[in-house]
A and B are shown apart, each in its own frame.
Chain A
Amino acid sequence: MNNVGVFVCTGCDIGAAVPLENLEKVAGGLGVATFQSHENLCSPEGVAVIRGAVEDGSVDGVVIAACSHRAKIEEFRFDPTKVHTQRVCLREQVAWTQPHGHEDTILLAEDLLRMGVAQSQKYTTPGRLGEDVDRTVMVVGGGLAGLKAAQAAAGMGNPVLLVEASSQLGGYVAGLKDLVPEVPPYDRLHENDMAALVAAVEADPDITVRTSSSTRNIDGQPGQFDVELVGPDGTENIKVGAIVQATGARPYTADKLGHLGYGLSANVVTTQDLELMLGSGELKCPGDGKTPERVLFIQCAGSRDADHLKYCSSECCSASLRQVASIHRDHPGVETAVVYRDLRTPGQLEHFYQGVQELPGSLFTRGEVAGVEKANGRLTVNVTGSLLGDDISVDADLVVLATGMVPNAADGEAIRELRDARGRIERKESESQVAAATAVVADLESHDGTQILNLNYRQGPDLPVLDYNFNDSHFICFPYETRRTGIYAAGAMRAPMEPAQAAEDGLGAAMKAVQCLEMAARGEAVHPRAGDISVPEFALQRCTQCKRCTEECPFGTLNEDTDGTPKYNELRCRRCGICLGSCPERIISFPDYSVGGVAAAIKSIEVPDEEDEKPRVLAFMCENDALPAFDEAAKRGFQLPPWVRIIPVRCLGAVNIVWIADSLSSGIDGIMLMGCKKGDDYQCHYIRGSELADRRMTNVQETMDRLTLESERVKIHEVARNDYARIPEMFEEFMETIEEVGPNPYKGF
């Protein structure tokens, strides 16, 4: 910005900590347009001072030197398309954590102000995107979750295209004789009303149904997807705005369950086999055609098993209870037995369990199934660890394996890796490259032909998965936030769940799809930087086609031209800045967050000479977790070493290593990178930011070792949002390290 105004608050002890004249002098030397102070800047009177300068056009950049970046956000909000607002934290980072009036306190405050002004002078204001947005929601999968999603999206006023691979709607639930109870008193079977739901969807004028169809290719971005749909009548090209994927789950392969008797006798069947019998009204043992005297259910058939599915499939306990209840209602005289490890009927399903337990002739036995044998024309199920502590055997005529569920999802990233490896082999790259690629192919070959959506994305044709092939998301707080903007997962492909849950999941995913379209139409980013209107610019004339940005974006934002130049899709972008962190040529910049902006801030720090014995440490802090944790530590009275200068960042993944190099070459003694947990239980809101930062810093440390610069000077700290109590020791330990390694030898150069 050309005309930066500095507005200093002297309230909350800031005035007592730092003499205003020192700040004024610093600002005066930086060519700012105005310097004003107020004893209570966040009050309506204080805000009026800033607003006045904005409105009379004397400033286009506002540096607010007051409280934390996270405080008084609403008070200090100005039109982002007209004014750039830069926060400088003199309260939590100075007044609350430093001795008031001390020389080092003043030096710290002066540096923070310089850093804020330097950034503000580098930044510009973003314009608002004005993209055309098609508000059609495409739902892929016509089972319960997909039908509910289609209805909800249509209900919110959006045209819907419902695509189903099979010849009819209804999916898995359509084949069920009954449903588990969904209405009070929750203790008896519920009529399966799928036929009515299918009829309603088919009759809905806003829902276009395409059965026996699938997507062959999907190009574009939210609001502007081009879908190539293949169906019985050929190919259609359709524009849609957002996508709900509700492709469901399939039963775990019973062939792998020989240890539970599958294959031993035709009278060992699966849940699905029994469902067909219940639906037909004929309950007969397939082996001999006789009506069974007792039907025995083996729970967790393939689930909760290190050799099969490690997770609990969630539905099987209630599914077996449902079948038990059906048998007792429709086939009186047939006994049932359920062998379970833990009977899982969470919540009000407990009423159903109680109701079924009370049915005469229904037995429930806890234990592990040791084996199934044929004996005297019947089947004997041997159970260990029963409630009585003994090994017992239960005879039955029909044994039902409650098989778990496997998501109908494809691992988009694995498919892409497989394709890349094949490409390397085809291109006959170096021998070692081909050997490595061959190993990748051998490892990932099983993904061949599994693709579902067929996205034409650099990072693969389907949603990335987290574990067990369920899609990747922050599944506790933000379960619908997939890693492909505008594409939302619903139902049993997202997590193991029962039909009632899948139905609701469809509604939630539809909500997100419609929301994404509305935000795209307003030119706003979706979660986590919801409402952000700035987008990065790529100075492509300097691009070296290294492909780091296209490979590292956690959200698949970037495609590549044939020569490897990134092709940016602004409506897929979440504005995290990880691409900016990845780029060795520094060609990616947001108007309000850039390599140049932060580099200018680093350069503005006054680094004392070695003999002053005043070390300087930079702390890059994730603004969502580390910075709040720091603020809370400050609130609790922690004393921050006066040597530390904090730079809040969007994500540790949005830290460009040139900032580390700049810092070290300007004499900064140490650099702390404080971000979120990485790995399987990652907490990074941008999924891969912490992991990428870690990888990049390992490279930095190797370089430092080569330059005989102590690699301990750069350290990543994992900080959780509630780690406020650990913050002081992190700084203490790091300062000890810096003291041990001594001053940066580049100081003064």
Chain B
Amino acid sequence: MNNSAPLMVVGAGISGVTAALEAAEAGREVILVERDPSIGGRVLRSHNYFPKLCPPSCGMELNTRRVERNPRVRVLTGTTVAAATRDGEGWNVTLKTAPAYVNDRCTVCNECAKACPATVPDPFNLGLAEVPAIRLPHLDAWPQRYTLDRDACGSGCTACVDACEFGAIDLDAKETEETVAVSAVVVATGWRPYPLEKLDDLGGGVLPDVISNVMMERLVAPAGPTGGEIKRPSDGAVPKRVAFVQCAGSRDVNHLPYCSAICCLASMKQAMYVKERLPETAVTIYYIDRRTPGRNEEMLNRVDELDGVELVKGKVGKVERGAGGALKLRVEDVESGRLLEAETDLVVLATGMVSNLDTGDTPFAVHTDDDGFGLDDNAAKLFVAGVARRPEDVAASVRDATGAAAKACVAATGRTQ
């Protein structure tokens, strides 16, 4: 491939990392920009992938090695796009990098975290645990470098600086800015869960024992807030009954009109987590359609065969406090109009995915559809990959990202199609 200005990939979740690596291994210079202090995005918050029930950190380990070995990928973490303008054939992009309070001299020895007196809710664990203000973002974090939540520091505190033998901490570090010229851009800014609080009819944000599917992934992780145990947030009790509410916010004109594509499989996977850890616990999945396309059908078959897992067709309309700490579900069979009632101990809302492009306010002025998902702009050499583009699972995101890398390479080559 001919050499022109580098490509830029915005967002270093599985889609962005994939797009960057596929292009870089093909010989392109790539600048990979990530807002968070480490790469990997949302996939690393999942305990296992469906349908193989294998850990996301496994593939990410390989991708990390690929990044480290490839001199063509420049990874900028803690970095956001401040401005972007079309310039001739490509883009001029202004990047802002957060102050490097902890620099490359960090060896992840953990002495700073031991000394740190301040704690913050752990963003990696969705606020379900407290962590020191200075810390490794999570066990698999790459770059392997601590990060400091400077706002949480006590006035004049230098405990971490004093504890660091390596001179890796500079509390006076400043934000830096640079402008780069790039030939084409892949936007892979990912998604966020539909907010629980908007699902108050289903107890979201109101009842502590109504949790989201993304929280469930953290509960089963050994390094998660409960050490891998599934417990009710309200009283720490082990649930004897768990109910999964599908389409919580999805396929619903009052919330997200689209199907979020992954929630059926995620809940089936989580039902398997529950049965593996708590074999006596009864699991019920309330669904409208069981969407397990392709070879993912195996997941449905496996869950169907599990003792103590029931799949019930019906839309849960209401979750309320029941007697003795239980939760009461009202389930409507939409088409027959019949109403069911059920009790459970823990409700998992299978919340959907919202594109992080939905605000429509991005430096690249990415066009979006009515659902907030990004659209490719060939003329602007601007391509969207992953869940920023549409609701899809990891396998589809990787496919999408590899395709986006191809589109960006073609655009950068300048050959008209």
A binding-site residues for B, Cβ under 8 Å: 11-13, 39-40, 42-43, 67, 71-75, 151-152, 154-157, 184-186, 200, 304, 310-314, 342-351, 354, 366, 387-389, 467-468, 470, 474-480, 495-497, 501, 504-505, 507-508, 510-512, 514-515, 518-519, 522, 526-528, 530-531, 624-625, 628, 632, 635-636, 676-677, 681, 683, 685, 720-722, 724-725
Contact = CB atoms under 8 A, between A and B. Distances in A.
Contacts of A11: 107, 109, 165-166
B69 A508 contact: no
Contacts of B54: 476, 677, 681, 683, 720
A389 B66 contact: no
B294 A624 contact: no
Contacts of A13: 109
Contacts of B108: 71, 635
Given A73-B68, A347-B258, A151 B417 contact: yes
A511 B55 contact: no
A555 B301 CA distance: 31
A519 B398 CA distance: 20
A304 B292 CA distance: 10
Given A346-B291, A528-B62, A722 B107 contact: no
Interface string B378-395: 000000000000111011
A514 B58 CA distance: 26
Contact of A477 (B27, B140, B394): B394
B29 interface: no
A512 B61 contact: no
Contacts of A467: 295
Interface stretch (B30-38, B120-128, B270-278, B405-413): B405-413
B411 to A, nearest CB: 8
A197 B239 CA distance: 56
B307 interface: no
B2 interface: yes
Contact of A314 (B293, B400, B406): B293
A354 B107 CA distance: 54
Interface in B25-64: 25-27, 47-49, 52-55, 57-59, 61-63
Contacts of A346: 259, 261, 291, 293, 391-392
Contact of B166 (A43, A152, A480): A43
A514 B295 contact: no
Contacts of A71: 107-108, 144
Contacts of B289: 342-344
Contacts of B296: 312
B399 A348 contact: no
A724 B57 CA distance: 12
Given A184-B370, A476-B59, A625-B61, A681 B53 contact: yes
A311 B257 CA distance: 27
26 contacts: A11-B166, A40-B166, A43-B105, A43-B167, A151-B417, A155-B406, A155-B413, A313-B294, A342-B289, A348-B258, A350-B257, A476-B54, A477-B58, A477-B62, A477-B394, A478-B59, A480-B399, A496-B294, A505-B403, A511-B402, A530-B69, A531-B70, A635-B108, A635-B110, A681-B54, A721-B55
Given A151-B417, A480-B402, A496-B295, A67 B107 contact: yes
B181 to A, nearest CB: 21
B259 A495 contact: no
A530 to B, nearest CB: 5
B369 interface: yes
Interface stretch (B94-102, B199-207, B221-229, B321-329): B221-229
Nearest 4 A/B pairs, CB to CB:
A477-B59, A155-B410, A508-B402, A725-B222
Interface in B285-336: 289-298, 301, 313, 333, 335-336
Contacts of B410: 152, 155-156
B369 A152 contact: no
B292 A312 contact: yes
Contacts of B394: 476-477
B137 to A, nearest CB: 13
B22 A478 contact: no
Contact of B109 (A12, A683, A720): A12
Contact of B139 (A342, A518, A632, A683): A632
Chain A interface, >50% SS class:
loop
A16 to B, nearest CB: 11
Contact of B259 (A67, A345, A515, A518): A345
Contacts of A511: 22-23, 26, 402-403, 405-406, 409
A184 B369 contact: yes
Nearest to B250: A350
A252 to B, nearest CB: 14
Contacts of A632: 139-140, 223
A280 B73 CA distance: 53
Contacts of A507: 402-403, 406-407
Nearest to B53: A681
Nearest to B104: A75
A724 B48 CA distance: 14
Contacts of A496: 293-295
Contacts of A184: 369-370, 375
Interface in B165-204: 165-167
A266 to B, nearest CB: 32
A508 B68 contact: no
Given A184-B370, A366-B313, 6 more contacts: A42-B107, A304-B297, A346-B291, A348-B391, A387-B335, A635-B139
B166 A512 contact: no
Secondary structure at the B interface, as helix, strand, loop or mixed, is loop
B87 interface: no
Interface string B1-18: 110000000000010000
Contacts of A531: 25, 66, 69-70
Contacts of B295: 311, 467-468, 470, 475, 495-496
Contacts of B415: 154-155, 157
A618 B110 CA distance: 29
B22 A518 contact: no
A475 B395 contact: yes
A347 B390 contact: yes
Contacts of B69: 73, 530-531
A504 B58 contact: no
A185 B53 CA distance: 35
A522 B410 CA distance: 21
Nearest to B139: A632
A91 to B, nearest CB: 8
Contacts of A348: 258-259, 369, 371, 373, 390-391
B23 to A, nearest CB: 8
A74 to B, nearest CB: 6
B336 A720 contact: no
Contacts of A349: 259
A351 B402 contact: no
Nearest to A627: B61
A625 B58 contact: yes
Contacts of B290: 342
A333 B307 CA distance: 48
Contacts of B402: 479-480, 507-508, 511-512
Contact of B57 (A154, A470, A497, A628): A628
A474 B55 contact: no
B159 interface: no
Nearest to A317: B293
A720 B1 CA distance: 38
Contacts of A720: 54-55, 58
A156 B336 CA distance: 55
A508 B259 contact: no
Nearest to A316: B293
B251 interface: yes
Nearest to A507: B403
A74 B74 CA distance: 12
A477 B290 CA distance: 24
A722 B395 contact: no
Contacts of A345: 259
Nearest to B14: A477
